[in-house]
Structure 1
Amino acid sequence: MRYKIAALYKFVSLPDYAELQPWLKAMGDQLGVRGTVLLATEGINGTVAGAPESIDALMDFLRSDPRLADLDAKFSESEDQPFLRFKVRLKREIVTLGVAGTDPTQTVGTYVNPDDWNTVIEDPNTVVIDTRNRYEVGVGSFKGALDPMTDSFRDFPTWVEQNRDQLAGKRVAMFCTGGIRCEKASSYMLSEGFPEVLHLKGGILKYLETQDEDKSLWQGDCFVFDQRVAVGHGLSETNWEQCFACRVPLSPEDRASDQYVEGVSCPHCYKPDADRTRFEERQRQIELAKARDEAHLGRKA
């Protein structure tokens, strides 16, 4: 069976978000889906996977709430279930920027459809900003985009403040994996006085799903937060893996390094003898689970 994966989010006022948790958890468990959904007063955010009919039923359940009737999702497929369990978590923010008053339901930038994105980012008067974290950018990004080199989305406001001079007077266009971070970042930048702020609707995933590869301005692959690690055009799974020790995405070249030991270390975190015993034992348990045809935490099935 091929699993259907849905990446979904919506900024919308959900003052009763805590009351929604048990209902959503029960429905997900009943349908046998896995993944994580975040709920907060500002909306919903999550990625879930399961049988195609189960994902469709879960989307129907969510859209039955009038506030989520137009809930959109980016769909892809995987031969393996990329998640281990189903979780519904309550949060202060569905994506953490940490700036009080930033509310995309009140103030938000201009949405740019994937079909129009190339024209926008090729404009020399436009500054293109990748709002993702540095390890994600290392897997792939749009041609010419600025990398703020952030370790967390919470670092983005500091980067903006430190780079006001190069951004001043420019049209700003931003993007992220599924659209949620750049949408919230657009609200923040408008509140900070930047007059023209745009963001990619549906994010990189919608662009890779809908745009022809031969006309694409995307370079590399797109990191995703599940056991697929990264996807390419058409949202097909690519050959990246993730280091268990430091969680950095690893290319085939990284895995060819003498410093790469599966489940133990990689070129980004290699230290002679550091944590080797613990990680080697964990890798042994992974191999034993694999021999029993059982899933194990943190590894591709």
Structure 2
Amino acid sequence: MSGQLPITVAALYQFTRFDDPAALREPLLALCEEVGIKGTLLLAKEGINGTVAGSENAIRQVLAHIRALPGCTSLDVKFSHAAEMPFHRMKVRLKREIVTMGEPDIDPTLSVGHYVDPQDWNALISDPDTIVIDTRNDYEVACGTFRGAIDPRTASFREFPEWFRQHRDDLLEGRKKVAMFCTGGIRCEKSTSFLRAEGIDEVYHLKGGILKYLEQVPEETSLWDGECFVFDERVTVKHGLEVGAYGLCRACRRPVSEADQQSPHYVEGVSCPHCIDERDEEQRARYAERQRQEELARQRGLSHVGAEFSHEE
């Protein structure tokens, strides 16, 4: 896990059966706070999901605690590093689902698609017999995606099942294989399980998600274009998991490109081209005051907790 940057970031998930997730919350939160970890962890009856950051030793202690939970021995973890802490505080939340799809009968512990290692992904998605689907939200896809991938243009993962059912015949016409991908792999656990339940057998997903691909596949042979949105203060990452060029609109939490930041509709902390028509003057006035308080806190060397990321993956 060692790296040149001081902060270790661990994105993790595990589908397993927790009979009483509420009983797991306080001990986990207490340990994270004790060792100085920040980030968000979600607990549900179907498992655990989240991203946390801290020192290498602190991350190691928290992962050991999670791996001791029922069914978490083989916890899926992806590591990266940051120069500064990418989260403001530590949260452990109880949820109905660790990634919300809204299909209660889907159980990734019973059936999922075929895992494809990053080194084998290019060959699969270059096969003309394969249709490639990006399962992420529209604002994530706008930052970058794999060449030739279909963008469902969904605002949330909950919309994915309806989108697929509506377009199934057109999508599968003349194709036998469906390959899907997401940021870290968790949404594809559910999306491939969903497609299997819909009667599609040749379903594949990128093991470890985009993050593992960008970490392991050299840029010169990569089929990835753009940057990958991540749900923390880094906003996006590039090949080698280096921090990308996107900023973040504090009003709507969407990524903003360098071109977006040159727009007259972009006012730091208040508005951007994506949300200028979605907010009224009263809301923008509140955002402006929050931005003023954050700037004052920075000048005083204090940390001001503003709007937080919602953890989708």
TM-score, structure 1 normalization: 0.95
Contact 1:227–1:299 (Cα < 8 Å) also in 2: no
Deviations 1:112-145, CA, capped at 9 Å, x for gaps: 1111000010011101000000000001101110
Partner of 2:311: none
Partner of 2:43: 39
Alignment of 1:115-194 (within 5 A): 115-168=119-172, 169-194=175-200
Partner of 1:286: 294
In 2, Cα distance between the equivalents of 1:103 and 1:18? 20
User: Which AA in structure 2 matches 1:118?
Assistant: N
Deviation (angstroms), 1:195: 2.1
Contact 2:261–2:272 (Cα < 8 Å) also in 1: yes
Correspondence for 1:207 among 213, 217, 220: 213
Deviation (angstroms), 1:217: 0.5
Q: 1:87 to 1:299 in 2, by over 3 A?
A: closer
Contact 1:148–1:156 (Cα < 8 Å) also in 2: yes
Correspondence for 1:232 among 210, 234, 238: 238
Deviations 1:152-179, CA, capped at 9 Å, x for gaps: 1010001001111123353100000000
Correspondence for 2:59 among 32, 55, 58: 55
Contact 2:17–2:70 (Cα < 8 Å) also in 1: no
Partner of 1:223: 229
1:263 aligns with 2:264: no
Contact 1:37–1:48 (Cα < 8 Å) also in 2: yes
User: Which AA in structure 1 matches 2:296?
Assistant: L
Alignment of 1:12-23 (within 5 A): 12-23=16-27
Contact 1:40–1:93 (Cα < 8 Å) also in 2: yes
Deviations 1:63-106, CA, capped at 9 Å, x for gaps: 23352111121001111111111111111111111112100100
Contact 2:130–2:176 (Cα < 8 Å) also in 1: yes
Identity %: 55
Aligned residues: 300
Correspondence for 2:250 among 239, 244, 261: 244
Q: Which portions of structure 1, spanning 4 or more consecutive aligned residues, are displaced by more than 6 angstroms?
A: none
Deviation (angstroms), 1:278: 2.1
Q: 1:299 to 1:214 in 2, by over 3 A?
A: farther
Secondary structure of the residue that 2:196 maps to in structure 1? Answer: helix
Secondary structure of the residue that 1:57 maps to in structure 2? Answer: helix
Secondary structure of the residue that 1:53 maps to in structure 2? Answer: helix
Which shifted more, 253-262 or 218-227?
A: 253-262
Correspondence for 2:285 among 277, 280, 284: 277
Contact 2:18–2:70 (Cα < 8 Å) also in 1: no
Correspondence for 1:297 among 292, 305, 308: 305
In 2, Cα distance between the equivalents of 1:233 and 1:172? 25
Contact 2:16–2:70 (Cα < 8 Å) also in 1: no
User: Which AA in structure 2 matches 1:27?
Assistant: L
In 2, Cα distance between the equivalents of 1:239 and 1:124? 33
In 1, Cα distance between the equivalents of 2:207 and 2:167? 25
Deviations 1:164-206, CA, capped at 9 Å, x for gaps: 1123353100000000001110000110111210011110001
Partner of 1:6: 10
RMSD (CA atoms): 1.7
Deviation (angstroms), 1:273: 7.4
In 2, Cα distance between the equivalents of 1:262 and 1:91? 32
User: Which AA in structure 1 matches 2:106?
Assistant: T
Secondary structure of the residue that 2:259 maps to in structure 1? Answer: helix
In 1, Cα distance between the equivalents of 2:284 and 2:26? 41
In 2, Cα distance between the equivalents of 1:296 and 1:224? 21
Which shifted more, 66-75 or 134-143?
A: 66-75
In 2, Cα distance between the equivalents of 1:20 and 1:288? 38
In 1, Cα distance between the equivalents of 2:270 and 2:220? 38
Unaligned runs of 5+ in 2: 309-313
Deviations 1:4-26, CA, capped at 9 Å, x for gaps: 00000011122232221111111
